[in-house]
């Protein structure tokens, strides 16, 4: 009988339905959810064995199976068996199938096994291998990624503080070729950097990355449409690969990397358990030494080593490295202020003024900042690490500082004057000390919010105090209100006049001619 044999329980039910209830083969097939041909084959074997219903009470399942499926008579000339190691290795190659290997086998041995027997013998041989070796992965296709459950302590020589290093692991599917390294965290910078170093170590890139749904790389571990971190997606695109996370609650998707984790914990971490490390560099040097030993250990049930299998099977099928390694980039959704600047790590970068109040995406690396609106780049700046400062492209500014949406310096100062003279004076001072008045809008709008939170009377008192102590900024006023100093008397002191001849100072005539409502 071709294919998988039925259980003896189903065969007993089949014979009962056929001989006691006289049901047709089609009805039996529908009842037992098997094919018509399977029913016909079982009935034929029962007739040949002289079995009738009811079966003898003392006939157990083993005896029933021997009657229905007696062993084939031994052949006088044994049929040649293929080299199953060769077959198993060849199946890893792209587009290779068991049927094609059988055709090649039959060309060499015309009297050899038929395809069904060929497959059965191969499956029996494969069943004797370790679980991780049984699965067939195409050459150069999948690289499985995860962190080990164990960590390694690193001691700070100066403070004695102990930090747990995380263990990053990648395993190629076809060759079981591993990569292991220690990182300080599992956060995005370490996650991406580990991938970059792993690709360099392998000297090539797989077609598919299969992370085990780590939150760093996969924001939403959906079964059908996992949501990738945009930086991880961008890195994969840079290397010409794709990310297909392991499916939740699908252990077979994770068995390869879990085997890699087990090897790492047994052959690396266990051997380092009594070592004391004072730096990440020391730990990674030892990991690299032990990793080299692992990849050169001969297989127990196959020829070669992980390294030789990787070099002969995986690497030739992998993609070449790009000309330059990926540079870590972060992505952030931000809203443009009315001063047509966005804030990235406490520094402000300009965009075209027409995008004020729009939502944009910021992509920033260690050296550059890009702003994208609806997928199109609208601004690019050199990265600055000066907190609270502005990087402004003159091309982004409105001509002659014309009315920008509904806000102008004149309107902001008019609003401030309604609160009180000190608030108006502080608003003027804030804008006069900025290279462009629009850069003072944000601080003035901050004063508006403080007015709503604390009331106009307290804001006026706080502005008066800020002017007297020379704290001409939103932060000074906010600090005064938070600490309640606006309710305390302030010693009289001379208010320093603003320099009239400074290059960035504009007189009253400038604001009088700025227009607005």
The third-level CATH classification (topology) of the domain covering 142-317 is Nucleotidyltransferase; domain 5 (3.30.420)
pLDDT single digits (tens) 462-500: 999 999 988 888 889 999 999 998 888 766 444 444 444
41-73 pLDDT tens trace = 899 999 999 998 999 888 888 899 889 988 776
Judge residue 308's burial from the number of C-beta atoms within 10 Å of its C-beta, 0-12 exposed, 13-18 middle, 19 or more buried. Answer: middle
pLDDT at 70: 85
Tell me, what's the pLDDT at 284?
A: 96
- pLDDT value of residue 437: 61
Q: Residue 217 — φ and ψ, nearest 5°?
A: -95, -25
Q: What is the pLDDT of residue 511?
A: 44
* pLDDT for the residue numbered 402: 47
pLDDT of residue 512: 42
- At 235, which helix (H) or strand (E)? helix 230-238
Give yes or no for a contact between 458 and 420, defined as CB atoms under 8 angstroms apart: no
pTM of the model: 0.51
Find, among 162, 188, 193, the residue nearest to 279 by Cα. Answer: 162
Q: Using one digit for the tens of pLDDT, what is the confidence trace for 339-391?
A: 899 999 999 999 999 999 999 999 998 889 999 998 899 999 999 999 889 99
In sequence order, the β-bridge partners of residue 335 are: 359
pLDDT band at 215 (very low <50, low <70, confident <90, very high): low
pLDDT, tens only, 90-146:
777 766 788 888 888 888 888 788 888 888 888 887 776 654 444 567 888 899 999
Half-sphere exposure of 212 (CA within 13 A, CB side): 24
Instruction: Summarize pLDDT for 162-187 with one digit per residue, the tens.
Output: 999 999 999 998 888 999 999 999 98
Give tens-digit pLDDT for 306-318. Answer: 899 899 889 999 9
Q: What is the mean pLDDT of residues 417-442?
A: 82
pLDDT of residue 403: 47
Q: How confident is the model at residue 285 (pLDDT cuts 50, 70, 90)?
A: very high
Q: What is the pLDDT of residue 221?
A: 42
Q: Would you say residue 401 has pLDDT above 60?
A: no
How confident is the model at residue 94, as a pLDDT?
66
Would you state the pLDDT for residue 74? 61
Average pLDDT over residues 222-237: 69
Name which of 96-105, 144-153, 217-226 the model is least confident about.
217-226
Residue 132's pLDDT is what?
A: 46
Mean pLDDT, range 384-406, rounded to an integer: 75
Average pLDDT, the chain: 82
Average pLDDT for 445-467 = 91
CA distance 280 to 165: 8
Distance CA(211)–CA(248), nearest Å, equals 11
**Percent above pLDDT 90 for the chain:** 37
Helices (H), 397-439: 409-419, 421-432
Both ends of the chain: CA-CA distance in Å? 92
For 181, phi then psi, to 5°, come to -155, 160
Q: Are 472 and 441 in contact (CB under 8 A)?
A: no
pLDDT number for residue 112: 83
* Pair of tokens at residue 469: 């102590």
- Residue 228 has a pLDDT of 64
Q: What is the mean pLDDT of residues 132-161?
A: 83
What is the DSSP code string of 173-209?
A: TTT--EEEEEES-SSHHHHHHHHHHHHHHHTSB-SEE
* Statement: residue 158 has pLDDT above 90: no
Q: Whole-angstrom Cα distance, residue 247 to residue 250?
A: 6
Grade residue 409 by pLDDT with cuts at 50, 70 and 90.
Answer: confident
The sheet carrying 390-391 orders its strands as 341-344, 347-350, 390-391
If one compares 100 and 216, the residue with the highest pLDDT of the two is 100
């Amino acid at each position: 009988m071709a294919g998988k044999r039925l259980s003896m329980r189903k065969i007993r039910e089949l014979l009962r339905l056929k001989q006691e209830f006289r049901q047709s083969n089609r009805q039996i097939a529908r009842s037992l959810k098997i094919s018509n041909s399977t029913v016909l084959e079982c009935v034929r074997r029962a007739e040949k064995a002289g079995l009738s219903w009811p079966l003898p009470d003392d006939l157990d399942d083993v005896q029933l199976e021997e009657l229905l499926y007696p062993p084939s008579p031994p052949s006088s000339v044994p049929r040649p068996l293929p080299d199953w190691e060769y077959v198993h290795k060849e199946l890893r190659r792209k587009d290779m199938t068991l049927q094609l290997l059988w055709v090649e086998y039959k060309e060499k041995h015309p009297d050899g096994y038929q395809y069904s027997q060929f497959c059965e013998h191969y499956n029996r041989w494969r069943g004797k291998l370790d679980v991780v070796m049984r699965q067939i992965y195409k050459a150069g296709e999948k690289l499985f990624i995860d962190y080990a459950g164990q960590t390694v302590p690193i001691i700070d020589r100066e403070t004695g503080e102990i930090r747990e290093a995380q263990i990053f692991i990648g395993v190629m599917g076809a060759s079981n070729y591993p990569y292991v390294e220690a990182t300080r965290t599992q956060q995005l910078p370490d996650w991406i950097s580990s991938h970059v170093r792993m690709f360099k170590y392998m000297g090539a890139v797989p077609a598919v990355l299969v992370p085990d749904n780590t939150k760093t790389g996969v924001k939403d571990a959906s079964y059908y449409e996992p949501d990738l971190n945009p930086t991880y997606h961008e890195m994969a695109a840079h290397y010409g690969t794709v990310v297909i996370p392991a499916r939740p609650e699908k252990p077979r998707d994770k068995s390869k990397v879990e085997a890699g984790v087990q090897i790492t914990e047994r052959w690396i971490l266990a051997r380092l358990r009594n070592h004391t490390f004072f730096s990440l560099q020391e730990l990674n040097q030892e990991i690299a030494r032990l990793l080299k030993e692992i990849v050169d250990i001969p297989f127990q049930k196959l020829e070669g080593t992980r390294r030789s299998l990787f070099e002969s099977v995986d690497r030739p099928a992998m993609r070449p490295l790009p000309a330059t390694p990926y540079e870590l980039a972060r992505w952030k959704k931000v809203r443009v202020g009315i001063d047509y600047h966005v804030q990235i790590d406490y520094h402000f970068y300009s965009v075209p003024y027409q995008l004020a109040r729009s939502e944009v995406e910021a992509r920033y690396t260690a050296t550059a900042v890009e702003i994208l609106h609806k997928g199109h780049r609208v601004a690019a700046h050199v990265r600055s690490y000066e907190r609270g400062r502005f990087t402004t492209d003159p091309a982004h500014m409105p001509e002659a500082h014309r009315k920008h949406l509904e806000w102008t310096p004149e309107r902001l100062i008019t609003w401030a004057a309604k609160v009180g003279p000190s608030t108006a004076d502080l608003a003027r001072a804030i804008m006069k000390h900025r290279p462009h008045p629009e850069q003072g809008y944000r601080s003035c709008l901050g004063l508006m919010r403080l007015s709503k939170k604390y009331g106009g009377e307290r804001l006026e008192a706080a502005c008066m105090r800020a002017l007297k102590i020379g704290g001409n900024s939103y932060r000074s006023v906010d600090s005064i209100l938070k600490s309640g100093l606006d309710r305390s008397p302030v010693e009289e002191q001379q208010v320093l006049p603003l320099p009239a001849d400074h290059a960035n100072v504009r007189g009253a005539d400038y604001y009088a001619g700025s227009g607005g409502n």
